[in-house]
Amino acid sequence: MTEKHLILEQADPAVFFGPGNANLRMLRALCPKLRIIGRDNVVKVMGDEEEIGHFETLFTALEHHCARHNVLTEEDILGIIKHPGRHDEGTPGVIVYTTSGKPVTARSENQQRIVEAFRRRDMVFAVGPAGSGKTYTAIALAVRALKDKTVKKIVLCRPAVEAGEKLGFLPGDMKDKIDPYLQPLYDALEEMIPAAKLQEHIDNHVIQIAPLAFMRGRTLNDAVVILDEAQNTTTAQIKMFLTRMGRNTKMIVTGDRTQIDLPARERSGLIEAMRILKNVEGIAFIETDKRDIVRHRLVTRIVEAYEAESRRAKAQEQAQEQEQEQTDGQQAAQ
């Protein structure tokens, strides 16, 4: 009798084994000549060497499906047994799957442009209003790259700038202090990676989430690196971030030029970078707009209302300037 240990490296064991080990029991029923034991992330198989070889092929296909789709049902197991090669066929348009098995796709033309730009370029700037899917799409692309093993890690960072509020002293260690700034990134990751697997990735530094200041001095190789809320960086900060790029690394920079929380005298590094780098080969610039907003329909209306107010205030300011110029001209003539 031969014994072999198979390791679940990509899939979450809880998802692979199923609720109450239902999937494991099904595999035992489908492979009666083998003794199959699952514990933690290890599947121990005992039996005839040839039978174990067949099971190993099935195991690889099941793990691949589980890691890609974040679900594994009895129907999936039967389908993979009947059609062994079909699990390798990706569904067109799907970036990744959520933890509930729901496909994540580009939901607008500009989101699709971000996906295409990420495929063709090593650095992508995605700029647009709140709710237009910039960060979510970027993280989905990073998770897919990690699942496909084209990179070894994901690095996500944000500038630790308060949105018009003073949070004051935050208790706890360094992680506790910075997590409030990074929660939107955790939210997206938790939708796409099962909780146990996500925690394992964070513990092993496969997924790193940190404030922008922590990037200084690093060289990031074999990674997808995302800078979120880049409108709140200074020129020096974004230059420091962009020059962290190493071998086999892709960068995505997201931001919203209408939500700058920097002090009034400080210029946004994102706006400066887009102006300075606009003609640099290898960098893509994607502008999203209110048509790309995928949150509640009221978000679109809110954005439109603020845009209208901004145009009204600008027109009023120009009119006041013209009136002042006329007044100054009349006084000079007198």
What confidence tens digit (pLDDT) does each residue in 46-99 have? 988 888 888 888 998 898 888 888 888 888 888 888 776 555 555 678 999 998
Reply yes or no on whether the pLDDT at 124 is more than 80: yes
Residue 299 has a pLDDT of: 65
- The tokens 């700034």 sit on which residue? 181
| Cα gap 158→72, rounded to integer Å | 34
Query: Where is average pLDDT lowest: 14-28, 104-118, 149-163, 319-333?
Result: 319-333
Average pLDDT, whole number, for the chain? 85
CA distances, 35 to each of 27, 47, 50, 63, 259 (Å) = 10, 6, 14, 19, 59
Residue 166 has a pLDDT of: 47
Average pLDDT score over residue span 104-127:
92
Confirm if 11 and 67 have CB atoms less than 8 A apart: yes
pLDDT band at 273 (very low <50, low <70, confident <90, very high): very high
pLDDT band at 163 (very low <50, low <70, confident <90, very high): very low
Residue 89 has a pLDDT of: 53
Reply yes or no on whether the pLDDT at 295 is more than 70: no
Reply yes or no on whether the pLDDT at 170 is more than 70: no
Instruction: Name the percent of the chain lying above pLDDT 70.
Output: 88
Reply yes or no on whether the pLDDT at 329 is more than 80: no
* Coil/strand/helix, residue 276: helix
Reply yes or no on whether the pLDDT at 156 is more than 70: yes
Residue 173 has a pLDDT of: 58
Residue 115 has a pLDDT of: 95
- The tokens 């998770």 sit on which residue? 143
- One-letter identity of residue 151: V
Residue 318 has a pLDDT of: 82
pLDDT, tens digit, 9 for 90 and up, residues 197-255: 888 899 999 999 888 888 888 899 999 999 999 999 999 999 999 999 999 999 999 99
Whole-structure pTM value: 0.75
**Sheet arrangement for strand 42-47:** 2-7, 42-47, 35-39
Query: Where is average pLDDT lowest: 72-76, 171-175, 246-250, 304-308?
Result: 171-175
Pure H helices in the chain:
13-17, 22-30, 49-69, 74-82, 109-120, 134-147, 174-192, 195-203, 235-242, 269-276, 297-333
Higher-confidence residue of 46 and 324: namely: 46
Residue 165 has a pLDDT of: 44
